[in-house]
Amino acid sequence: IGALMWLVRTYPRLSVMIVVAFLLSLASQGANSITVIYASYRYQWTPQTIGIVLTVFGLASLAVQAGLVSFSTRHLGERATFLGGMALTALGLVVFGAAETGAQFWFGIPLLALGAICGPVMGGYFSKAVADNEQGRLQGAWSGVNAGMGLIAPGLFAFTFAGSISMPVQAVPGLAFFLAAALIALAIAIGAGAMASLSGQRG
């Protein structure tokens, strides 16, 4: 909390992007927290199948972050890469929520893996916005965002999932993923204007 308060006080122009970071973290951690119980409930996947899916996703995300970040930012720019990554993430979450079979669920994996590019881009954006001797405090603030959302996301998304499968008229088991996609869409709407404004100030 102290690191976040320092960041807002010292760099008030980054306040809007901090909101974007909160939304992105909330959506990502929320979706991650219910994936296992969701796949077990809707597709009757075994722990082995879920482990394979999560491993494939993890390796694909690492490959994207290691190999595409510099290429994409160099050719498309930071803003387009970041917003495009979030858009792919939102689309992947919609695919997860709408997938009626386990095979359809797999189609969301490459979308989310490509969307993982937005994390390093956001980290770099914040890093370049603060002084060199303040990078440690920035990492503390970044950790504060993730820790705060880590307290909220599991309960919120578990509650959403539980409610979605207990609706008396029509169950919507993918509702939690749709919620995550909506949070990402909100982050896109906020971040698009904020990044353009900050780029203009730096220019």
30-39 pLDDT, tens digit per residue, is 999 999 999 9
31-67 pLDDT, tens digit per residue, is 999 999 999 999 999 999 999 999 999 999 999 888 8
123-180 pLDDT, tens digit per residue, is 888 888 888 888 888 888 888 888 889 899 999 999 999 988 886 645 788 999 999 9
Q: Work out the pLDDT band at 97, boundaries 50, 70, 90.
A: very high
Phi, then psi, of 45 in degrees rounded to 5: -70, 145
pLDDT of 199 > 80? The answer is no
The pTM score is 0.87
Please give the pLDDT value at position 168. 64
d(CA 165, CA 42): 10
Please give the pLDDT value at position 202. 47
Please give the pLDDT value at position 203. 41
Please give the pLDDT value at position 200. 46
Cβ atoms of residues 118 and 69 within 8 Å: no
d(CA 156, CA 5): 25
**Residue for token digits 């809707």?**
42
185-203 average pLDDT score:
72
What is the 3-class SS of 111-143, one letter each residue?
Answer: HHHHHCCHHHHHHHHHHHHCCHHHHHHHHHHHH
Q: What is the SS3 assignment for 41?
A: helix
Q: Work out the pLDDT band at 196, boundaries 50, 70, 90.
A: low
**Residue for token digits 């959506």?**
27
**Residue for token digits 């959403």?**
160
Cβ atoms of residues 17 and 194 within 8 Å: yes
Alpha-carbon distance values, 192 to 20, 42, 45, 59, 185 (Å): 10, 35, 38, 29, 11
72-89 pLDDT, tens digit per residue, is 888 888 888 999 999 999
